Chain A
Amino acid sequence: MASRVALKTKSKGAKGGAKPADERSAVKCLKEWSTWTVKKAKVITHYGFIPMVIIIGMSSEPKPSISQLLSPI
C-alpha cells in the first residue's frame, strides 16, 4: 500500500514538474520587472518632480522670467 502511494506521488511529481516551472519563471519575471520599474519610478520622481513643477510653472501664461525665479524677493 505504502509503495503504491509512493509510486503514484512520484509519477504525479514528474508530470506536474514541467508546467509549474514555466509558470513560476513567468511570474518571477513579471515580479522582478515590476519591482525594477517601481524602483526606477521612485528615483525619477524623487529627483524630477520639483524640476517638472518648475518647468510647467515657467511655461504657463504670463511667462515669468528666470530672474524672478532666482531672486529671493
Chain B
Amino acid sequence: MATLVPPATTAPPPPSPDSKPAEPEKVDYMDLPCPIPYEEIHRESFMSLKPELFEGLRFDFTKGLNQRFSLSHSVFMGPTEVPSQSAEVIKIPTAHYEFGANFIDPKMMLFGRILTDGRLNARVKCDLSENLTLKANAQLTNEPHMSHGMANFDYKGSDFRTQLQLGNGALFGASYIQSVTPHLALGGEVFWAGQHRKSGIGYAARYNTDKMVATGQVASTGMVALSYVQKVSEKVSLASDFMYNYMSRDVTASLGYDYILRQCRLRGKIDSNGCTAAFLEERLNMGLNFILSAEVRIDTYCFFFFFFFFFQLILCQPPQAIEQSTGF
C-alpha cells in the first residue's frame, strides 16, 4: 500500500538573487577597512592627470643581478628648468649619466641614484615592525646648504593611519586619517617649518566606491583641491581636478582620461591654463618599454616632446612592473 510520505523538513529555500540587493548591508563599525595614506589621498586623480611629462631624450637600462638586487644606468639629454626671479622660465640644456643601485626586499627597500654632477638621490623604506614603517629620502649635493633630507614614520592601525615627518631645516609634520564608514575616510595634517617660520594645518576627505573616487582637501596655506575620478570600465577611467588658492586667487581645473590596455597605457589631459598633454607608455617587448609624451602650452606658446626608452634585463625572472620602481 502506498503511504504518503510526509515531506521531510527541509531548510527554507535560499532567497532568490533578486531579493538580496534590496536589503542594505549592515555596516560593522568596528571592522572598517584601513584607509590609504594621507599623502596619497589624491592618488587616482594624480596618476591620471599628472603623468611625468618631460622634455628631451632619456634612455634607461636596468640590469637585474638577482631577484632583489639590480643596477641601473640612465642617460638624459634635454633642457632643465632653472629657478629664476622673473616670471619667465629659464631652461638650460643639460646632459647627464646616472648610475643607480636598487635592493628590494619584502622588509626593506634601498634605492640610490648618483649623477655625474655629484648629486645623490637616496631612498630607504624599512618595515620596523608589522605596523610601523620608516621611509627616508635624501637629495645630497656638493654645494653647501642645498641638500635635503626627510624621514617619515608611518603607523598603520586597523582602520586608521598616522604619520610623523621630520626633515632638515627643522621641518616637522604629522598627519592622521581615519575610516569613518566603509566608503568615507577623513583626515587632517599639521606641519611646522622652522627655517621659513611657517606652519599650517589641513583637512582632507575621501569617498570611494568601486566605480568612483571623490576627494577634497583644504589647507591653511590657501590651497583647496577637489578631485573626482570615475571608472567607466575595467580599462578606462575619467578624471577631473580643481585647484584653488584663496590667498593668491589662482584657479586651475583639468580634465583627463586614462586608458589601461594590455600592452600600453594612454593618458591625456586638458587644462584651464590652456595646456594639453598626452602620455603613452608601451611595452614593446619583454623588458623593453617605450614612453612618448607631448605637451602643448597655449599661454606660453611652448611645446614639449619626449621620447624615453626603458630597457630592463633580468637574468632569472620576468621583469618587475614599472609601478614597483615608481611606487614609493
User: Could you tell me which A residues sit within 8 Å of B by CB distance?
Assistant: 38, 42, 45-46, 49-50, 52-54, 56-58, 60-64, 68-69, 72-73
Contact = CB atoms under 8 A, between A and B. Distances in A.
User: Quick one: which of B73, B99, B149 has the most chain A CB within 10 A?
Assistant: B149
Contacts of A46: 120, 140
A38 B138 CA distance: 13
A62 B67 CA distance: 8
Interface string B126-149: 000000000000101000000101
A53 B72 CA distance: 13
Interface residues of B, number: 27
Contacts of B215: none
B68 A60 contact: yes
Interface of B: 63, 65-66, 68-71, 73, 99-103, 105, 110-112, 114, 120, 122, 138, 140, 147, 149, 168, 313, 315
B65 A64 contact: yes
A45 B101 CA distance: 14
A50 B101 contact: yes
10 nearest A-B residue pairs (beta carbon): A57-B69, A64-B65, A53-B101, A46-B140, A50-B112, A53-B110, A57-B103, A49-B122, A53-B112, A49-B112
Nearest to B64: A64
Contacts of A60: 66, 68-69, 103, 105
Contacts of B103: 53, 56-57, 60
8 contacts: A49-B122, A56-B69, A56-B110, A57-B101, A60-B66, A64-B66, A69-B65, A72-B73
